[in-house]
Chains A and B, each alone.
Chain A
């Protein structure tokens, strides 16, 4: 096997993108170096193998680091979108619960009704808090958002038990949105097992 073929095989240790950009230049440089070598064959090849091992490792670390950066950016975008959605749904929830309260006050409301409406306002405020936490800090806000979303879900379920004729839209917003947001928050974890390492990059 010729020296160039051996070196071509060694080049496979590099990431494909690096190889396609610099592979031919490296081959040319290797050819020049091989022709003009002064050292014995064993020393020459030891130097070449060490060079490939060292620089290929470094190139792969660069590639992995770039992937981690891309991934953390993706997680950040998802968190921000979830935060915006939570804020909008929270505002909507507060407004619709207050509208419900105003409408209900015209008649003589029962204690259960008042409690259900109050719980609705609290649940929507918790949704709003979750959104604000996510917008403030996409990673550290995730824990706050999880707790507030779960609390919001539990409160809506209690309100539903107290006020069984809750509207379909209120049900979707009150129960569906915390579940959807929680799924969005934890979706990136299922995509990659290395999220715990990546969160340190923020």
Chain B
């Protein structure tokens, strides 16, 4: 019987990531988090420059879940936020590889910008 070939999702095929998507993956690199914790982590890390609204956050999470970069964790209460049970999200192995590749891609771009003296110099 012929084997059906499945289209493999390669990490490279996921690149480049939308800025909000990369921010979410970065927020999940350390530990699993619920929606509000992701939102706060992104806002704190970027000094408020990136503010993810609920729609943007869950829209991106939905796509990340569908592409297998993120998976659902347990549902439990966050002691800091009260008794409401919250869904936690965590990075998959594929998600981690994609985040690494995207970071390298961005790093290469920054290095190129530095070589061209776009950054790293005092403004004239």
- Chain A residues engaging chain B, CB cutoff 8 angstroms: 14, 18, 21-22, 25-26, 28-30, 32-33, 47-48, 50-52, 54-56, 58-59
Contact = CB atoms under 8 A, between A and B. Distances in A.
A56 to B, nearest CB: 6
B53 A28 contact: no
B56 A25 contact: no
B55 A51 contact: yes
Interface stretch (B6-14, B57-65, B90-98): B57-65
B58 A51 contact: no
B54 A29 contact: yes
A18 B62 CA distance: 9
Contacts of B61: 22
Given A47-B51, A51-B53, A29 B35 contact: yes
A14 B86 CA distance: 21
A28 B62 contact: no
Overall SS of chain B's interface: helix
B35 A14 contact: no
Q: Identify the 3 closest CB pairs spanning chains A and B, nearest first.
A: A51-B53, A55-B55, A22-B58
Contacts of A25: 34-35, 58, 86-87
Contacts of B55: 14, 26, 51-52, 54-56, 59
Nearest to B85: A28
B84 A28 contact: yes
Given A28-B86, A56-B55, 18 more contacts: A18-B62, A25-B86, A26-B35, A26-B58, A28-B35, A29-B35, A29-B36, A32-B36, A32-B81, A33-B39, A48-B53, A51-B53, A51-B55, A51-B56, A52-B55, A54-B55, A55-B55, A55-B59
Nearest to B75: A25
Interface string B47-81: 00001011111110110000000000000000001
A51 B59 CA distance: 10
A51 B62 contact: no
Nearest to B87: A25
A96 B81 CA distance: 79
Given A25-B35, A28-B36, A33 B59 contact: no
Interface in B71-124: 81, 84, 86-87
A22 B72 CA distance: 12
A59 B59 contact: yes
